[in-house]
Amino acid sequence: MSKTLVLKYGGNAMTVKNIKEELIQNICKLHRLGHRVIVVHGGGPYIKEALATAKIESEFIAGQRKTSKEALEWVEMALKGKVNGDLVRLFNKNKVKGVGLSGKDGGIVSAKKRYHIEEQNGVSTQQDLGQVGDVVSVQPQLLEQLLDNDFLPVITCLASDDQGNDYNINGDVFAGYIAGAMQADEFIVMTDIDGLLRDINDPSSLISELNSSDIKELEEQGIIKGGMIPKLEACKTALEAGSSMVRIINGTKPEQLLAIANNENVGTKVYNK
């Protein structure tokens, strides 16, 4: 039975050559089985490399990279020119018609400027993050047309506002909005561990199932922290917007993708009540 699958691709699965190639091959297998597959990606390591080449120092505010207009040009070169182009090349090498996109293409994603809001002693302060954005809306028509014609969209997390200003958006959050707008049967978030762990140092502490209503409590307990925060935020966004199921899996174990296709229980499944 054909499913719409939105895959958020990143982490070491993006930077380790043999893992990357095996993962792409398995995504191609899903496509050949008749599934409608969309790949969404960021590219933190490549952005870091590009900014170092340009001698642009990165400033982080609460874990978010402040992005000047000059820096955004290099971010776009890294995401669209290097990462996206290479993924499309690998899909085409495997005889699957990959199409490289960003949220700007066809107005797929509309964005707005993001500010970091911090509260201390009841006082709220707003910090400018430069060309960092939030998703306002998603228009999925172009993606639907590509899927209907046997193409595999590969989309990176750049988008514009209605004034034509460009923004870089957190890849996990961006992917969650795409999954929700596509009413994805499964939104699959790939990371470098087997899912959400109660203890990051104990692989056996995997939380195999999680109700989205428990996310806030797990954040307060410190179980969801760091890079897992935007991933779980993305899961919640996808579910609330209409995605049927969400999983967090280990992208460095490409076989987990095919296990999902066989309805095996891997990773952390996140669901609504």
| Coil vs helix vs strand at 107 | helix
Residue 273, pLDDT > 80, answer: no
* Domains identified in the chain, total number: 1
Does position 98 have pLDDT exceeding 80, yes or no? yes
Domain that holds residue 266: 4-271
pLDDT higher than threshold 80 for residue 207? yes
Average pLDDT over residues 39-65: 89
pLDDT tens readout for residues 12-26: 889 899 999 999 999
> Could you tell me if 261 and 37 are in contact, meaning their C-beta atoms sit under 8 angstroms apart?
no
pLDDT tens profile 4-13? 999 999 888 8
Which pTM was predicted? 0.93
Task: State in Å, rounded, how far the first CA of the chain is from the last one.
Answer: 25
How does pLDDT run across 212-238, given as a tens digit for each residue?
A: 889 989 988 989 988 888 899 999 999
CATH of the domain at 244: 3.40.1160.10
Task: Say what angle helices 85-93 and 17-32 make with each other, to 10 degrees.
Answer: 60
Closest CA to 133 of 51, 49, 79, 67: 67
